[in-house]
């Protein structure tokens, strides 16, 4: 199947670079008609032709021939397995994603949105059960209703009541009705999300979309040929996401300014892309180096890095996934990942080799850092990052030769390690 998907991957890489078929064909030394057949998986290629196309796309031939985007496949597979009552052709998911990548992305996106909504419902349900404000408000609400009902019964059953007495009961009825209305409004306001809260639950931010479209390297910002203001205009960002996107772009500019790409790459090659050595060389913190490595341009001479940043609860703050290393959007990753272990060892880098169930291997370095100072009686708030790459052969041997190896997965629901002691959810394929 990998050969059948080769053309699809070539097309996806070409579109990501905004190249026309004609331009790519000219650069690779083949005809446009032949390239069109290749991209539609109607012609197989290898050897010199594959190498020429890979050079024209500034990528490694192995990355073109490795098969469909594994992260996308995982998301589509998960969507199918969650709806096991529908008899989907699970053995043809890879073929479907290769032939109809747009529909595959749509299914994956909708599955992500459903997962987010399920999580929101679960949070709301838990809040309803344990929220002290809600409990008190419901007590007041029931008290108002009881008083209104009792007053109404008195007025209904005592038709010969003196007028002044009836007026007092009517006044009490109006007062309790007003209290009831106010309590109901307060409950509604309590659970109504603010604009900021809505912004935090966007399934895909405008900035994340921009990074994905540019393979996580914003060359225009790096070179200074485009400003943050101009990019915001070109992106046509929704008003609810403008401030978040602006802040993210400014943060990217700060990274590019503090660690300029060309001298950084030159030093990184000398030090074999060792994050700790680079932090010492540039006199900066490890977090800055990890983010810089995660935003290198795509080039055969450069390793490809992925990155995940999370808070102390495991909630995902930032993610750059790789094709073969699918990261959760909202949490729920493998609990054996060192990014979680390092939270108990702040400021102590942890190296580890992660062996995935399908045979993929990644070198990782994880690091936890406090986001604010500890206070009396309160621990310091901590966040963590994990930088990972499958190109560990380009790193120093010390970075992987004697590094602890861990048998891990992506998420329990898609992990086939059935005997794992850290399992906390059922493997979806094991369901009847």
Domain range summary for the chain, segments of one domain joined by + = 2-67, 131-192, 200-258, 274-430
Residue 104 near residue 83, CB atoms below 8 Å:
no
Secondary structure letter of residue 398 according to DSSP: G
pLDDT value for 195: 41
How many C-beta atoms lie closer than 10 Å to residue 349's C-beta? 17
SS3 at position 87: coil
> 53-67, 97-111, 264-278 — which one is most confidently predicted on average?
264-278
Q: Rounded to 5 degrees, what are φ and ψ at 162? A: -55, 150
Least Cα distance to 68 among 143, 3, 160, 139 occurs for: 3
Nearest-angstrom CA–CA distance, 282 and 264: 9
Tokens of 280: 């010492």
pLDDT value for 206: 78
Tokens of 412: 């329990």
CATH-assigned architecture of domain 274-430: 2-Layer Sandwich (3.30)
Residue 23 near residue 35, CB atoms below 8 Å:
no
User: Once rounded to an integer, what is the mean pLDDT over residues 399-404?
Assistant: 68
pLDDT value for 200: 38
The CA distances from residue 11 to 4, 106, 276, 305, in Å, are 13, 18, 37, 22
Q: Is the dihedral of CA 172, 175, 180, 183 positive or negative?
A: negative
Per-residue pLDDT of 223-259, as tens digits, reads 888 888 888 888 877 777 788 888 999 999 999 999 9
Q: Is the dihedral of CA 9, 13, 14, 15 positive or negative?
A: positive
Q: Rounded to 5 degrees, what are φ and ψ at 146? A: -60, -45
Residue 293 host element (H or E)? helix 286-294
Distance of CA 407 to the CA centre of its chain: 23
Place of tokens 């990184």: 268
Q: In what order do the strands lie in the sheet with 316-320?
A: 316-320, 306-311, 382-389, 361-370, 350-355, 405-407
Kindly report the average pLDDT of the chain as a whole number: 81
pLDDT value for 232: 85
Nearest-angstrom CA–CA distance, 338 and 350: 7
Considering the four listed CATH numbers 3.40.640.10, 1.10.260.40, 3.30.930.10, 2.170.130.30, the one that applies to the domain covering 2-67 is 1.10.260.40
Q: Pinpoint the alpha helices (H) of 192-241.
A: 195-200, 206-213, 219-223, 228-235
User: Once rounded to an integer, what is the mean pLDDT over residues 42-52?
Assistant: 75
The two most distant CA atoms of the chain are separated, in Å, by 104
SS3 at position 279: helix
In this predicted structure, the answer to whether residue 401 has a pLDDT above a threshold of 70 is no
Least Cα distance to 391 among 286, 270, 300 occurs for: 300
SS3 at position 83: coil
Nearest-angstrom CA–CA distance, 28 and 24: 6
pLDDT value for 115: 75
Ranking 90-99, 240-249, 390-399 by mean pLDDT, the lowest is 90-99
Same fold? 2-67, 274-430: no
In this predicted structure, the answer to whether residue 290 has a pLDDT above a threshold of 90 is yes
Q: Which residues, including other chains, have CB under 8 Å from residue 108's CB and lie 6 or more apart? A: 72, 75, 76, 79
pLDDT value for 145: 86
The CA distances from residue 36 to 26, 44, 47, 69, 96, in Å, are 13, 12, 18, 20, 19
Least Cα distance to 411 among 358, 318, 319, 336 occurs for: 336
Q: Residues, the chain, total?
A: 432
Per-residue pLDDT of 57-84, as tens digits, reads 888 776 676 545 666 777 787 787 777 6
Nearest-angstrom CA–CA distance, 400 and 208: 30
Judging by beta carbons within 10 Å of its beta carbon (0-12, 13-18, 19+), is residue 196 exposed, middle or buried? exposed
Torsion of CA 85, 91, 96, 98, to 10 degrees: 150
Residue 2 near residue 66, CB atoms below 8 Å:
yes
């Amino acid at each position: 199947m990998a050969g059948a998907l080769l053309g699809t991957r070539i097309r996806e890489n070409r579109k990501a670079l905004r190249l026309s078929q004609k331009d790519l064909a000219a650069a690779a030394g083949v005809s446009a008609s032949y390239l069109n057949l290749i991209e539609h998986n109607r012609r197989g290629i290898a050897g010199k032709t594959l190498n020429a196309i890979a050079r024209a796309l500034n990528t490694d031939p192995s990355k073109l021939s490795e098969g469909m985007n594994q992260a996308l496949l995982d998301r589509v597979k998960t969507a199918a397995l969650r709806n096991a009552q529908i008899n989907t052709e699970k053995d043809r998911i890879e073929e479907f994603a290769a032939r109809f990548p747009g529909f595959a992305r749509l299914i994956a996106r909708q599955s992500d949105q459903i997962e987010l909504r399920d999580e929101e419902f679960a949070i709301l349900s838990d809040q309803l059960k344990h929220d002290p404000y809600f409990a008190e408000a419901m007590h007041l609400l029931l008290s108002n209703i009881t008083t209104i009902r009792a007053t109404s019964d008195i007025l209904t059953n005592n038709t010969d009541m003196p007028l002044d007495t009836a007026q007092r009961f009517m006044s009490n009825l109006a007062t309790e009705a007003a209290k009831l209305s106010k309590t109901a409004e307060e409950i509604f306001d309590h659970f109504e999300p603010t604009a900021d809260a809505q912004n935090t639950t966007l399934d895909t931010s405008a900035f994340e979309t921009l990074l994905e479209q540019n393979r996580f390297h914003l060359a225009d910002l790096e070179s200074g040929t485009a400003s943050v203001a101009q990019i915001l205009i070109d992106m046509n960002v929704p008003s609810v996401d403008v401030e978040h996107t602006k802040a993210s772009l400014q943060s990217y500019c700060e990274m590019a300014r503090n660690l300029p790409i060309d001298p950084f790459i030159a030093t990184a090659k000398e030090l074999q892309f060792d994050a700790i050595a680079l932090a010492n060389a540039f006199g900066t913190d490890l977090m800055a180096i990890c983010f810089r490595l995660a935003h290198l341009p795509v080039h055969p001479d450069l390793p490809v890095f992925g990155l995940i940043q999370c808070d102390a609860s495991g909630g995902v703050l930032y993610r750059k996934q790789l094709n073969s290393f699918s990261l959760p959007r909202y949490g729920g990753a493998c609990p054996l990942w060192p990014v979680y272990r390092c939270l108990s060892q702040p400021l102590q880098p942890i190296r580890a080799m992660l062996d995935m169930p399908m045979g993929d291997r990644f070198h990782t370095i994880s690091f936890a850092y406090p986001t604010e100072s500890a206070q009396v009686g309160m621990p310091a708030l901590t966040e963590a990052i994990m930088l990972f790459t499958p190109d560990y052969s380009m790193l120093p041997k010390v970075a992987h030769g004697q590094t602890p190896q861990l048998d891990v997965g992506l998420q329990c629901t898609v992990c086939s390690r059935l005997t794992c002691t850290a399992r906390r959810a059922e493997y979806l394929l094991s369901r009847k």
